[in-house]
Amino acid sequence: MKRTMALVALAVWMCGAALADSRMVILLIGPPGAGKSTQARKLSRKYGIPSISLADLLKKDAGWGKAGSKKIARAEVESGELANDEVADLLVRKRLLLDDAQRGFILDGYPATAGEADKLDALLKERGLPSPAVIYLDVPDEIARERMQHRRRADDKPDMIARRLAEYHREAGFILERYAGPQLHKIDGSGDEPHVWREIEQALASSARAAN
């Protein structure tokens, strides 16, 4: 048993090392409270590609926390509502054209519509980047709700949590259907952080083996 586990760990490490030297695009899908930000930071460190959140881009564009910030964009982020396609496309494209995203990137919160997915596909072809590997962190609403309540953030009030979960379910169905196939990896995100990370590593390693 120990030998088998050691061999699996070695295979994951070898695939990870190969991926770190190649181009890759990862989409992170999951409800708020699924731990996407935590896992995105780990992926960014391991593979040397930036982690990009649409919510963070919107906050930055709105001048989050600064005097004279754009109130409409701030309200849109705080309410958990999606930006329209035009705003999202502009912010994401601008960020993806920076030098650190030349070999790939990790996206959280984008694409969420057919139009955004088409724009992303076109950008990947333009940049010579591969189709994305999709990591779907599946977390039941009750667990996601409990996690958000424990974070004690200003935007994690009960009514806001309900709106964000509802918005997630409206967009998740499209994403899962659009990227259905071997590139989609469903991970049980209700487990502890290290376990979820191991599952993600193994999923990406299997994608690398299939691609080769």
Task: Quickly state the pLDDT bin for 151 (edges 50, 70, 90).
Answer: confident
Question: For residue 16, what pLDDT is reported?
Answer: 53
Number of domains in the chain: 1
At residue 1, does pLDDT exceed 70? Answer: no
Q: Which of 1-10, 25-34, 144-153, 184-193 has the lowest mean pLDDT?
A: 1-10
Burial of 17 (0-12, 13-18, 19+ CB in 10 A): exposed
Question: For residue 14, what pLDDT is reported?
Answer: 58
Long-range contacts of 183-186 (CB under 8 A, 24+ apart): 183/131, 183/132, 183/133, 183/134, 183/207, 184/134, 184/136, 185/133, 185/134, 185/135, 185/136, 186/136, 186/138
Range of the domain at 92: 2-211
43 vs 55: which has the higher pLDDT: 43
- Residue 43: CATH number of its domain: 3.40.50.300
Question: For residue 80, what pLDDT is reported?
Answer: 45
Question: For residue 6, what pLDDT is reported?
Answer: 54
